[in-house]
Amino acid sequence: MATLQLASWATNLQYANLTSDVLLAANKSFYNWAGCAIGGFASQPAPQIALNSTLGPFSGPATSSILGANGSISHSFADAQIAAFVNGIASHVDDYDDTHLETIIHPAGPVASALLAIAEAYGPVTGQDFMTAFVAGVETECKLGLSVWPQHYDVGWHITSTTGSIGAAVAVSKLLSLDKNHTAQAIGIASTQVIGMQAFFGSDTKSFHIGRAAQSGMLAALLAKNGYTSASDALEAKYGWLHVVSTRENATAYFDQLGREWEIKKNTFKPYPCGIVMHPTIDGAIQLANEISGRSSTIENVKSVELRVNPEVLVLTGKSSPQTGLEGKFSIYHAAAIGLLYGEATPSQFTDEVVKNSTVVTLRRKVNVTIDDGVPTDAAYVMLQFDDGTKLEKHVEHVKGSMENPLTDEELKKKFMEQVTLAIGPDRAQRAYDTFTQAEQLEDIGKIRGMY
């Protein structure tokens, strides 16, 4: 009954059911997504290859905006399928998006990318209806993720996109007002497209996963709307999603909590544009960089950098010799080095140039990693050993961006403005901030591209 239970909850969900803290989290998640999509399109080749060289020639009537495209209006729109795909890539390509920490799902990308493109194509859609559909999609992804976590992830799936196509399908179904049975068919069609494996972390294909999940979920909802049949037990069937993609499945327990325990309230925002398990190390490295600045023992006198971290750190970010900026985002060695050398970790520290910089490479080679089951994923021990035998150590107990130590509204705004200003300039960035933070109030969110 998992499939119909989910479909039933989503179709019944009303804007009035969303409490103020749910809406606050939804609004933050949405504008953080927009900032990442605008910034990502401008900063990385992946979304531009996807749009300009590859799918541009396949676009039907251009109804939907490419968030970060800074050319003429005619070069900043595509059909809804392509827009969802490109915005999904752009929103994830910097590894700077949001995170549901229990499952390491980055929930906004697949859902918002599909939803905004559809709203622009099929509107008018009020901001309130949009946010309701967005929450439905995010809750879908996270409850599914909880149902199969951690076995599903351990086997190698990229959980953001494997749950993302289903989340996007539920969200788009909601926006298109599909009934319970049609929504169930959409869930089925989405679930049979399992997108994303961890082998591609550090390449353009990682962000492809998010774009393709958005597009696949949208396609599922459109097909279901038009009577395309699927299975109303798609999730729980013996040869359906929950069983095929995981040796553990416990959807029922989590689906019973739909609308009671809100996952979106646990969504967090990344302070650094890279694999999230490296963030505690970066925190510690930046603290050390600040502490030794102006001291006699400087970074040049560092003999070795000793990290003690959770075992997942090496599983996910163990690249010891990254060659590109994207690979640097999955190198704990690079993360420690740039934190120490630059005192910050912004998109500028994850470029091909910095990854190949000889000072960075030299320090990176001095980084030693010890894994320790006793160190939680949001913690790290970072120690500097100097040539003169002295040591300096930092223990990060709760990383910045965690539930215990969240980004403040000012930090979230600063993150948005930095990314977006680089892409479309300061004036439009300010207008984009004002617009996306007020999306819930719009009478027609499909008009948002004209407002910034």
Catalog residues that contact a copy of itself under the rule CB under 8 A: 45-46, 49-50, 53-55, 57-61, 79-81, 155-158, 188-189, 191-200, 203-205, 208-209, 212, 216, 219, 222-223, 226-231, 233-234, 237-241, 243-244, 326
In sequence order, the 6+-apart residues with CB closer than 8 A to the CB of 227 are none
Nearer Cβ to a copy of itself (118/439): 118
Question: Residue 26 CB, nearest distance to a copy of itself (Å)?
Answer: 28
CB of 302 to a copy of itself, least distance (A): 32
Q: How far is the CB of 346 from a copy of itself (least distance, A)?
A: 22
Nearer to a copy of itself, 208 or 254 (CB): 208
**Count of beta carbons in the 10 Å neighbourhood of residue 450:** 9
Nearer residue to a copy of itself within complex by CB, 127 or 275: 275
In a 13 Å sphere around the CA of 438, the CA atoms on its Cβ side amount to: 14
Q: How far is the CB of 141 from a copy of itself (least distance, A)?
A: 18
* 295: three-class secondary structure by DSSP: coil
34 vs 245 by CB, closer to a copy of itself: 245
Least Å distance, CB 169 to a copy of itself, is: 12
User: Of 196 and 328, which has the nearer Cβ to a copy of itself?
Assistant: 196
Cβ proximity to a copy of itself: between 50 and 360 the closer is: 50
Query: Coil, strand, or helix at residue 307?
Result: strand
Q: Which is nearer to a copy of itself, 308 or 319 (CB)?
A: 319
For the CB of residue 166, give the shortest distance to a copy of itself in the complex, in Å.
13
d(CA 326, CA 311): 22
CB of 396 to a copy of itself, least distance (A): 27
Give CA–CA dist 26/21, Å, rounded.
8
Q: How many CA atoms lie within 13 A of 351 on its CB side?
A: 8
Q: How many Å apart are CA 355 and CA 158, to the nearest integer?
A: 25
| Rounded Cα–Cα distance for residues 216 and 186 (Å) | 10
Least distance in Å: CB of 196 to a copy of itself?
6
Report the phi/psi class of residue 399: left, alpha or beta, with left for phi > 0 and alpha for psi in -120 to 50.
Answer: beta
Calpha distance 422→450 (Å, rounded): 19
Beta bridge partners of 394: 382
Q: Are 174 and 136 in contact (CB under 8 A)?
A: yes
Three-state SS for 78?
A: strand
Q: Measured from the CB of residue 142, what is the shortest distance to a copy of itself in angstroms?
A: 21
Q: How far is the CB of 185 from a copy of itself (least distance, A)?
A: 8
Considering beta carbons, is residue 203 or 287 the nearer one to a copy of itself? Answer: 203
Closer residue to a copy of itself, CB minimum distance, 25 or 224? 224
Question: Among residues 79 and 141, whose Cβ is nearest to a copy of itself?
Answer: 79
The residue (of 245 and 341) whose beta carbon lies closer to a copy of itself is: 245
Tokens of 2: 């998992």
As a residue count, the chain comes to 452
Q: What distance in Å separates the CA atoms of residue 47 and residue 91, rounded to the nearest whole number?
A: 9
Alpha-carbon gap, residue 392 to 291, rounded angstroms = 9
CB of 239 to a copy of itself, least distance (A): 3
What are 183's two structure tokens? Answer: 């929504």
DSSP-assigned states of every residue in 360-401: HHHHHTTEEEEE-TTS-TT-EEEEEEETTS-EEEEEESS-TT
Nearer residue to a copy of itself within complex by CB, 58 or 320: 58
How far CA 207 is from CA of 161, 270, 330, 418, in Å, comes to 9, 16, 13, 21
Query: Rounded to whole angstroms, how far apart are CA atoms 202 and 317?
Result: 9
Nearest CA to 60 out of 80, 90, 86, 89 is that of 80
Residue 101 CB, shortest distance to a copy of itself, in Å, is 21
